[in-house]
Each structure stands twice: as structure tokens, then as C-alpha cells.
Amino acid sequence: MRARAAEVSARDDTDLPYRIRDIAMDVGLLMAAATFTLLGGTGLLGHLAGITYPLSKLMVADAAVAGFLAGLCLLGWLFNRRWLRYFAAIPLALITLYTLLHNGLAGGPWSGESWLSGGPRILSIAALLLFLVALCTALGMKRPWYRLVWASSGLLALGAGGFSILLILLPASRLSWVENFVSSPILATLYALLGGLAFLVAAWRGSRRLLPLGRLTQLAAVAGVMVSCLAWYTLNWSAQSNMQRQAATLMDNAALNARHAIKVQLDLIQRLAWRQGLNDHQRQAGGWEHDVQTYFQHAPYLKTLALLNPDGELEAIRASSEQYQRRLVEEMDLSHLRDSQALEWSETTAFTVPNSPRTLLLVAPLGNAGGQLIAELDLAELLERELSVQLNQFRLSVGGDTPYLVLRQAESAAQDHLARPLPHLERREIGLPGGSRLVLDVHMDSVSGLLRAGIMPAGFAIAGLTLSYLLALSLGLVRLVLLRSRELMAARQRIEAQYDLEQRFRSLYLYHPDGVFSLDCEGRIVTANDACSHITGRPNETFLGSHFSTLLQPQDMKPMQELYAATLIGHPGQVILRVMHQDGHLRTLDVTSMPIIVDGVTQGVFCIAKDITQQHEQEAQLAYQATHDLLTGLPNHATFDTRLREAFEQAQQKGSVLVVMHLDLDGFKAINDGLGYHIGNQLLVAVADRLQQVIGQDATLARLTGDEFALLFTHLDGCQAGINIAERMLDALSAPFQIEDKPVHVSASIGIACNCSVVENAYELMQRADLAMSGAKQQGRNTWQWYKGNDQQMTEASVLLRHDLHTALKNNQFELYYQPIVEAVNGRIRGLEALIRWHHPEKGMISPGVFIPLAEQTGQIIPLGRWILQRVCQDAATLYAAGKRVVPVAVNISSLQFRRAGFLEDVQQALSDSGLPPKLLEIEVTESVLLDGAEQAIELINQLNAMGINVALDDFGTGFSSLSYLRDLPIHKVKLDRAFIKDITTNRRNAAIVQGIITMSHHLDLVVVAEGIEERDQQQDLVRRHCNLLQGFLFAKPMPLAAVMALPDLLPFGETTAAKR
């Protein structure tokens, strides 16, 4: 009892409300919120008051506002002031979202001005972190995943701060990243680290109320933060002011050195002018060259020396290179020098060239000899050589906004790529001897210099915050000690009450007929009665103290865990699960749970386990019989449909490949009829076993009905994998089956479909596989066929169209159109071809290419062909009686109608009823009439010829017949298919085939008709090839009989025909 009491006491002691870590967390969060608020507020007041720092702003206005609002958000959350949280979180979220959007569109915080403050915006990563502050404080911690958001935000902020510290520690040559900061990099780093640490602490702390720290603790924390912030601002001001003073000293030294350098050059040029002005002609002749070469040798920045005579004309010029000589003569304007000569200046003067600021012209008079000496100096080279100043972390540039000389430390050259210039410290315009002027600028040239200037203030601020934290924590701990004794007494009382409650309910475990056990709040089995030992077959001591999952099967862990979790929050429930008995058999249990509540607090879970193994086995047997085929043991049709629907939904979500096969045994009925049903049943079992061995356990094999099987594959890599499996199944079935010592052979036809194309419903896959299986049967069986088209949609449409076709025949919805056939040379009409059209009352005009094949499949082509034949004869007889268009009319006859018994009688009846002479009727057949043998077709054509009816071979060259048919068939005309005509003028192969057919047909005394003539070039080409007759849109489209009668004799006829085209 004492051990138990000690254990409970130790556990409850950790749950006392005022622990040291709680005080530490609350004081830290209070100081973090105060730091954000005071730093942001101080910076905001500084911007409003117009206070600026010597070098750069420590905190831009946007950052000050956002930091101030972030601090208010944390204070509102910490003190549970909802109005303050939303008051600060909403504007903070709007500001940060605007910043992210503006930065994304502008390309960075320095591009464009902030709509909030008119200055730079904060960094995108800083805006993201501040947005997370607004989001987290607005959400609070009501739900567990909210704490995850807090923790993730804290880790992100710590990561950003840690990465920034890592970059600060890099060498100075690799600190170009600092250019992206709009505020102090050290301040931004401290902000990120402090905010990240605060959020992690808040996530660990949870949503409990702020501890009663006392006013003294809160005052110490806030005062320490305030003093640290003021110290940081003041020390930063001092450090930056010191750097600006150093820059001013550098500027003074540079100006002094520049004046001295120019003074020396003026003296040198004056001395050369004096020597040249002496009236010593001998020296003038030889000494000039010597002096010039000496000057060029010792002064590389001297580019050109020139002499002007008293009249201002160029008398002599010497240059260090031809480039400078040509530039002085051709590009520089010397007129102002001639004007200065007239003023008779006695001293050397300096002029700058307007278009070349780095070029300095020194002009010295030659004395009594008259004239001037002009010296061109490269000012950049001169100053770079003569300026000797200590630059340190500064950069000195000469030339103003477009400097032509930049002096810097050698290691700073790596930072030339900075997108944003470093702070500009001072600009000074100085006067040089000789009258010229120079513009000097000093910039910061070292990112590390800026960072070093902020390290010391940051160190002082961090030290002040640390000391303030320790002071506030000490004050809070004093208050904790005062409250601790009362909390310990309350804990002891709870321990005694809990122990008493355990004793009250122990009898429940001992005498219940079902297994009763209890779980603690961590899922460990605490107690169990004797019935639990009977269920598991082993002593209770072997599993007491273990987690309940150790007794469960893997598939039952999740349901039991969900039941356990729901019970802990006050929702009892029930679950069916299995445990392994000591003898190796599974026991099925009906487990009911209920919470163990003491003083309103859930201490664990009671569970009652009822053994329902026998009942469950009976239900499982019934369920198996309802979902499986009793003969083969395979899933039945209903189970397969269910699995197909589930797999289809998963494939739609994951975008994976789903393959369905429909397998039908070939000739299985003959085996049943010949060997008996008992042999057939054994064969089905053997086939199922072989198929299962081929496909493995990852696929689903089901027996649909009779000798039909369905297969479902969800883990194939692609279509080829499905084909490989189909081939293996066919190979496996090719080996004979030994059924009652009898070898039985059987093959299969397999239809395959997958979801690679658009499939809206799962059952469509099975429909497509069934259609593909029918195609495999038509291909000769013992093969597979992949569904590749719209057969399913066509089948559905065909069923409806078949009914409409029957109605059309009954209601006379068909109409015959006629297209003229003309002489190739002159376009004279020599015949007509009858073409059927269907005017559907709802669908409009339906193409013959749609309903003719359907009519041939359904047998409706026979009555439709009779109607066409009778109508053609009637229309042709009308033309013959009117004396107009007395030309033969051709009618297309289907191969099914042609080979059907009674065809000749139908022709004779149509001619007899209409009174049309047989010579005006022409029968067109295709090569498909030869499917049942050429002898029957030849005999039938001879009978038609005997009646006086000519027969033409239509679409010649696109079928499967040989040239021998052209020789043996008693036809009189050959029609070339439009496939050879459409590109006859551009395709040499087609042209050669057409020419060959025409020549061969003429040698066989056959007339040649070319179809599909649409262009004049095609007509002319066929005329040159001696084609007899032509047909196509170039001459006329198919049209009703009345329109044909109105046509002229020669086609095409002027613009009318062209308009029709």
C-alpha cells in the first residue's frame, strides 16, 4: 500500500500547477512579448518623431509597426484578452499579406515604396514569420493541431534565426546576403530567435492561464526589457556616429592628397613649358623629344603633350599611344584654349574635358616665345597612384554620381555584385590647384563593418535581457515556494481518495463471467480477472503492465486504439477483435469499454471482453458463401464488382493504372456435352488454380458465371505488363489438364481494358473488357484483344440507331441523291451514281458511313438495298421517259445483298415494275463480293451481263483482291478510289499506281472512272493519263433528282459550279 501511495504521490506531484518550469516559461513569454512591443513601439515613435540614425535605420517603419503588433498579439494571448488578440492580429495579418504580395510583384523589399510608410518593406521571410504570429495568436490552442502550428512556426523562426547567425559568422567576403535586410541584420536575427523560442515554449506550455506571478515579477520583467531596449538604441547610435566621424577624417586626408598631387603636376608641366620657351633653337630642336620621352617614361598617367604656336595652331604633338594623339586632334575642342592664349595668362591652368571627366588638360604658357604647352592627364590613374589614405571599411569614389575612380580594400571587390548600395556617408566638392574641381564620395565598403558596429549593442541588450529574466524568475520562484506547501497537501488528499476508489471496484474484476480488465491512461493493462486467463490461455501475470496492443492482431490495433481514445474522452463503445490463444487458435472477442472517472477526471478505461468465437465463425461461413464461388473458391461476381468499384475510386485519386480482363474458355460447352458436367466442373477448378498461379496474390481472380472469369490488376506498371500476363495465361492454359486420367485441352479468349482513356464509371471497364473479349473470339479465339476504341459507346448508340433505322424504312425517311459522272476531256455528263441519304427527324442528316455498316451487321441492308434498287429504277425510268439525261444510273450493291439468294429476282422485279431498259442500270460492287469465292461472283456477274446490265468494280485497289480478279471478272468498268486521287499531283507513288491501273484496264478493254475529283489540276492530270470518266465535287455534288435534271450537259458550268463548291 505504501509503495502504491508513493507511486501515485510521485505522479501527482508532477501535475501540481505551479512548477519551476511553469514559472520560467511564463516569465520568458512575458519578456518576449514585452521585447517585441517595446522595441517596435520605440522604433515607431522614433519614425514619427523624425529621428534618423547616422548610417542606416535600425528598424524601418513597416518593421516597427509589425513588431509592435506582434508584441500586442502575444500579450493578448498570454493574458487571455481576446479583444486585444484580434485587435492586433487582424492588422498584422493584413500588413504581412500585403508585404508578401508587394514583394513578390516588385521583386524585393527595396523595389518600390511601402504603401504603409512610404519606405522600404520588410523581408518576405520576416513577413511570413509575423503572419504566423498573427495566425497562431488568433487561433489560440483549443485543438491539438493548433499547438502543432505553434510549434512548427517556432521551429521555422528558430531555423531562420540560426541560419542568419551562421551567415554572420561567415568571412567578410561572403556577407553579401546582408544587402537584403531592410533593418539591422542582428536585430532581425534576434527577433527570429526570440520569437521562435517563445512559440516553442508556448506550444509546450499549452493554453493554460498565466500564473499569478505577482506585480513585482511583472514589473521587473517589463522594466528590464525597457532598459535593455533603450541601451541597444543608444549604443547603436554611438557606434554609427563613430563610423561617420572616421569617414569625415578619411575625406579630409583624401582632399589634401589630391591637391598635393595636382600641384606637383602643375609644377612639372610649368617647368617643361619654361624650358621649351627658351629662345635656344638648338635645344628646341633636340631637347623637346628628350624631355617628352622622359616625362612619358616617369609619368604613365601623362597621355599627350602638344605645342600651340602664338596663332593658336597645333605645332607639335606627342602621345603615349596613337589613340590619345588622334583623340586630342579629332575629338577635343581646343577653341577655349586659343581664347585663353589671348588673355596672356602667366600661370599653368587646368581644364576638364566635358565629355571625359577623367581627362585633365594642363595648359602652360611658353613665355616670351609665345604659344602654349598642353598636357593631357588621366586623372583616374594619377589619383589612384598618388592618393594614399587608410580606407579600412570605407570606399572612396571620385567623380560624383558616375565615378571614374573607386578606391577600396582589395578584399571588398567580391561585393561588387550587391544589388543595393551600402550607406553613403559624405560627399565633398574640393577645388584643385589650377582651377579645376573634384567631387569625392565616401561609402561603407564592408558589410562586416556594419555588422561589427551592431554586435556590441546587441551583446549589451542580450545581457540586459538575460539579467532581467533571471531577476524576474527569482521573484516568481519566491512566490512559488509560498504556494507549494498548500499544493502538496491537496495532492496528498487526492492520492488517498484515488486509492480508496480502487478498492471499491476490485470485486468487479474477480467475479464477472466475462473477461474484465482495466487500462491506465497510457494503454497499459493494470488489472485483469481470471476469465481473461481462460480467454488467452496463459496466466495474467504474463501480460499485466504491458500495452494492450501486445495481445492484438495487427489489423485490430487501429480499431482498439480508436475505441480506447474515444473512451478516454468520455465516449464508451464496442469493437470486435481477435486475440491468439495459447493453443494457437484465434479467439474472437466482443469488447465493450467504459471510462474510469474519479472526481471528474478520467483515470483509465474498463473493458469487458465476451468470447464470441463460435458465433463469429458461423457468421464468417455465411459471409464467405455470399461472396465466393462455391465450386472454385474464387470471389463471385458481386465481390468482383465491389472490388472493382473500390479499386477504381483509388485509381482515380492516385492516378494509377487499373487493368481489367474478361476471360472466356473456348469450346467449354463441347467439353460439358461430350465428357459430362462433372468433368467440366473439375476443369473449371483446375483452370482457376492455374490462373491463380500465373497472376499471384496481388491481383483479383473471380468466376463470373459458367466458363467466364474476370481479373483485376491494380499494381501493374503499364499496358505492356497486362499484355505479358495475358500471354502467360494463354501459355499456362495451352498445356493439357489431367481430369480423371483424361487429357483435356482448352483455350481461352481474353479481353483487356484499362483506365488509360477516359472512364467515368467502374462498370465501363468491365463492359469494355467484354467487348474486347468478343473481338478476341472473332479473331479466331485462343488470343487476347485490347479494347482500343469507342466500341462501348458505339454499341449503345447502335442499339438505338438500329431501332431508328427500322422506323426510317417504315416511314420512308430515306432519299436518293445523284452525282454526275462526266467525260474526262470535255466534262459531258455520261452517267449518274445513286447515293442514299437519311433525314432523321431528330438527329438531322446521318451519314451513310454510320448507318450502312450498321445495316450490314444487323441484316437490315437487305430490305434497304431492295428499296434503293427499286427507287433507282423508278427515277431512271422517269428520266428516260422525259428524254432528259438518258444515261446509265449506277447503284451500289452491298456484298451481303449481292451474295444473298434471290438477288437476281429482286433486280428483275425492279426493272419490270419501273419499265427501265436494263442497259440504263449499272451495278457497282466492291472486292468484298469475292469473300465466298471468285467462282460464285463470276457466275452471278455473267448472269447480270446476260440481262443487259453492266457491272463496275468500285473502290478498286483498296481491298484485298489480286490482279487476277481484274482479268477474270466479267466487268466493264473500274472505279479508282479517291484515296489515290487526292494527292495524285504531288505523290509520285500514287500517280504511278493510277497510271498502271489505267493502262492495264485499257488493255483489258475496261472503262476507268476516277472518283473524288475536286481540283482542276487533278482533272488535267487524269486527262493526260487517258482516264475515261471523272466524278467529284469539281463537277457537281450529290443532289436530288430535280437538281440533276436542271444541270447543263457540260460540267463544271461557270461560276455556279464554283459557288456550289
List pLDDT tens digits, range 942-956. Answer: 999 999 999 999 888
Whether residue 885 sits in one domain with residue 738: no
Note whether residue 492 is domain-resident. Answer: no
Whether residue 138 sits in one domain with residue 71: yes
Highest mean pLDDT, choosing among 42-51, 845-854, 1025-1034: 1025-1034
**Contact call for residues 849 and 880 (beta carbons, < 8 A):** no
1052 cis-preceded (ω within 30 degrees of 0) = yes
Whether residue 600 sits in one domain with residue 633: no
Better pLDDT: 298 or 592:
592
Note whether residue 638 is domain-resident. Answer: yes
Element (H, E) at 310: none
Q: Which residue has the cell 516559461?
A: 25
Residue 89's pLDDT is what?
85
Residue 23's pLDDT is what?
80
Note whether residue 718 is domain-resident. Answer: yes
Residue 11's pLDDT is what?
45
Nearest to 731 by CA among 691, 682, 679: 691
Q: Which residue has the cell 435534271?
A: 1045
**Cα dist from 888 to 830, 885, 897, whole Å:** 8, 9, 21
Residue 2's pLDDT is what?
44
Whether residue 644 sits in one domain with residue 601: no
pLDDT score of 16 more than 70? no
Stretch 120-140: mean pLDDT, rounded?
82
Residue pLDDT, tens place only, 189-246: 787 888 888 888 888 888 778 777 778 777 877 877 788 777 777 777 777 777 778 8
Residue pLDDT, tens place only, 761-817: 888 889 999 999 988 888 878 888 988 765 544 455 666 777 788 888 888 889 999
Distant-in-sequence, close-in-space partners of 564: CB < 8 Å, separation ≥ 6: 519, 523, 548, 593, 605
**Contact call for residues 605 and 596 (beta carbons, < 8 A):** yes
Q: Percentage of residues in the chain with pLDDT exceeding 70?
A: 85
Residue 448's pLDDT is what?
60
Note whether residue 419 is domain-resident. Answer: no
Stretch 735-756: mean pLDDT, rounded?
89
pLDDT score of 339 more than 70? no
- Give the pLDDT band (50/70/90) at residue 1056: very low
Stretch 698-706: mean pLDDT, rounded?
91
pLDDT score of 874 more than 90? yes
Q: How many helices (H) and strands (E) does the chain have?
A: 34, 30
Whether residue 121 sits in one domain with residue 174: yes
Q: How many domains does the chain have?
A: 4
Better pLDDT: 626 or 799:
626
pLDDT score of 996 more than 50? yes
Stretch 960-989: mean pLDDT, rounded?
83
Residue 101 C-alpha cell reads as 504580395
pLDDT score of 269 more than 90? no
Note whether residue 958 is domain-resident. Answer: yes
Per the DSSP assignment, residues forming a β-bridge with 444 are 394
Residue 797's pLDDT is what?
62
Residue 812 C-alpha cell reads as 420512308
| Residue after which a domain boundary falls, among 558, 592, 614 | 614
Query: What is the CB neighbour count within 10 angstroms for residue 30?
Result: 25
pLDDT score of 444 more than 90? no
**Contact call for residues 430 and 256 (beta carbons, < 8 A):** no
Whether residue 775 sits in one domain with residue 806: no
Better pLDDT: 467 or 639:
639
**Contact call for residues 407 and 384 (beta carbons, < 8 A):** yes
Q: What is the Cα–Cα distance from 365 to 309, expressed in whole angstroms?
A: 10
- CATH code of the domain covering residue 565: 3.30.450.20
Q: β-pairing, 921-925 with 950-956?
A: parallel
Residue 824's pLDDT is what?
94
Residue 920's pLDDT is what?
93
**Contact call for residues 361 and 352 (beta carbons, < 8 A):** yes
Whether residue 1022 sits in one domain with residue 977: yes
Better pLDDT: 311 or 358:
358
- Give the pLDDT band (50/70/90) at residue 8: very low
Whether residue 738 sits in one domain with residue 838: no
**Contact call for residues 285 and 476 (beta carbons, < 8 A):** no
Residue pLDDT, tens place only, 1026-1045: 999 999 999 999 999 989 98
Stretch 67-81: mean pLDDT, rounded?
85
Whether residue 784 sits in one domain with residue 760: yes
pLDDT score of 159 more than 80? yes
Q: What is the Cα–Cα distance from 96 to 130, expressed in whole angstroms?
A: 7
Whether residue 690 sits in one domain with residue 648: yes
Q: What is the DSSP string of 834-886?
A: EEEEEEETTTEEE-HHHHHHHHHHHTTHHHHHHHHHHHHHHHHHHHHHHTS--
Q: What is the Cα–Cα distance from 586 to 492, expressed in whole angstroms?
A: 45
Supply the DSSP symbol for 782.
S
Whether residue 817 sits in one domain with residue 687: no
| Residue after which a domain boundary falls, among 587, 614, 641 | 614
- CATH code of the domain covering residue 692: 3.30.70.270
- CATH code of the domain covering residue 912: 3.20.20.450
Query: What is the CB neighbour count within 10 angstroms for residue 444?
Result: 21
Task: Name the burial class of residue 828, with classes exposed (0-12), middle (13-18) and buried (19+) by CB atoms within 10 angstroms of its CB.
Answer: middle
Note whether residue 335 is domain-resident. Answer: no
Distant-in-sequence, close-in-space partners of 266: CB < 8 Å, separation ≥ 6: 348, 350, 362, 433, 434
Note whether residue 338 is domain-resident. Answer: no
Query: What is the CB neighbour count within 10 angstroms for residue 369?
Result: 15
Residue 826's pLDDT is what?
93
Stretch 444-457: mean pLDDT, rounded?
65
Give the count of alpha carbons within 13 A of 326, CB side only: 3
Residue 183's pLDDT is what?
57
Q: What is the DSSP string of 576-629?
A: EEEEE-TTS-EEEEEEEEEEEEETTEEEEEEEEEEE-HHHHHHHHHHHHHHHB-
pLDDT score of 935 more than 90? no
Residue pLDDT, tens place only, 982-993: 888 888 988 998
Q: 148-157, 337-346, 841-850 — which is least confidently predicted?
A: 337-346
| Residue after which a domain boundary falls, among 191, 210, 229 | 210
Per the DSSP assignment, residues forming a β-bridge with 445 are none
Residue 1053's pLDDT is what?
60
Residue 943's pLDDT is what?
92
pLDDT score of 76 more than 80? yes
Nearest to 434 by CA among 294, 261, 295, 272: 261
Whether residue 529 sits in one domain with residue 642: no
Summary mean pLDDT of the chain: 81
Instruction: Give the structural domain span for 192.
Output: 20-210
- Give the pLDDT band (50/70/90) at residue 175: very low
Note whether residue 804 is domain-resident. Answer: yes
pLDDT score of 256 more than 50? yes
Residue pLDDT, tens place only, 381-415: 888 887 777 777 778 888 887 888 888 776 555 45
**Cα dist from 799 to 621, 753, 836, 837, whole Å:** 43, 22, 21, 20
Residue 130's pLDDT is what?
83
pLDDT score of 27 more than 70? yes
